């Protein structure tokens, strides 16, 4: 299975590539549209500030690659890659995004409180559980409901279409931790940093037939 791991200068590429290779993928780290077009599937990572990510995508031509690929082959977006799919982000005073999905990316309240009134740190950094919404979907195969995944983010996605939400996480408030729409799958958490459950999720993506 050939996977194009998109390189626009803002992703955690080597750990993602190593994790994908460990579950059987033939990974190419690339920004070359020809390599992307020849790949069976695409992984769209991202870390850092949204404005820098969008500029990096535009400079590398990745924005056009994603706009095209999202309609014709399986795509997995991770962290800021997931956030970039929406119409806009509140980060950097407001940043236009790719607009592939309807909705926005909002900042966590700061201060943020848990159910007991205790202050939660922002960014949301570390391990947390998720509540799977589409439990029968093949991407959740062999992943227990109480599995932990690793998060690092100060902003969260707010889709306008509730039907795309594949998992919810709670951090001061419920937020979209994962989404699925047709051949597009995205996670706010980092599966490549999430040990057994994360590797299983990547394996499920590699084996996903649509």
Give domain limits for the chain. 2-207
Q: Which of 118, 153, 190, 207 is catalytic?
A: 190
Annotate 157-194 with DSSP letters as a single string: EEES-GGGEEEEEESSSEEEEEEEETTEEEESSBGGGS
Distance, in Å, from the CA atom of 40 to the CA atom of 21, rounded to the nearest integer, reads 14
Q: Which of 91, 153, 169, 192 is catalytic?
A: 192
* Residue 118 annotated in active site: no
CB 69 within 8 A of CB 31: no
| Alpha helices by DSSP H, the chain | 13-22, 33-38, 50-60, 62-69, 80-83, 195-207
The pLDDT of residue 180 is 95
Sign of CA dihedral 34, 37, 41, 44: positive
Q: Which of 79, 97, 157, 169 is catalytic?
A: 79
The pLDDT of residue 66 is 83
* Residue 190 annotated in active site: yes
pLDDT per residue of the chain (210 residues) written in tens, 0 to 9: 899 999 988 777 999 999 999 999 999 999 888 898 889 999 999 888 899 989 988 888 878 888 887 778 999 999 999 999 999 999 989 999 999 999 999 999 989 999 899 999 999 999 999 999 877 899 999 999 889 999 999 999 999 999 999 999 999 999 999 999 999 999 999 999 999 999 999 999 999 987
The pLDDT of residue 108 is 96
CATH topology for 2-207 is Rossmann fold (3.40.50)
The pLDDT of residue 210 is 79
| Predicted TM-score of the model (pTM) | 0.94
The pLDDT of residue 36 is 87
């Amino acid at each position: 299975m050939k996977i194009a791991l998109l390189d626009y200068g803002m992703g955690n590429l080597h750990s993602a590539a190593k994790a994908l290779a460990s579950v059987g993928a033939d990974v190419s780290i690339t920004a070359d549209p020809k390599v992307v077009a020849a790949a069976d599937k695409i992984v769209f990572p991202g870390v850092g500030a949204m404005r820098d990510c969008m500029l990096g995508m535009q400079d590398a031509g990745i924005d056009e690659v994603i706009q095209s690929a999202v309609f014709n082959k399986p795509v997995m977006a991770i962290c800021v890659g997931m956030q970039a799919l929406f119409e806009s982000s509140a980060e950097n005073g407001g940043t236009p995004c790719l607009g592939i999905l309807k909705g926005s990316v909002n900042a966590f309240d700061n201060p943020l409180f848990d159910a007991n009134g205790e202050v939660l740190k922002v960014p949301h950094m570390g391990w947390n559980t998720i509540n799977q919404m589409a439990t029968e979907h093949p991407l959740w195969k062999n992943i227990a409901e109480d599995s932990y995944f690793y998060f690092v983010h100060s902003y969260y996605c707010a889709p306008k279409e509730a039907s795309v939400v594949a998992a919810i996480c709670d951090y001061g408030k419920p937020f979209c931790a994962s989404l699925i729409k047709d051949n597009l799958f995205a996670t706010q958490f980092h599966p490549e940093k999430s040990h057994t459950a994360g590797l299983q999720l990547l394996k499920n993506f590699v084996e996903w037939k649509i």
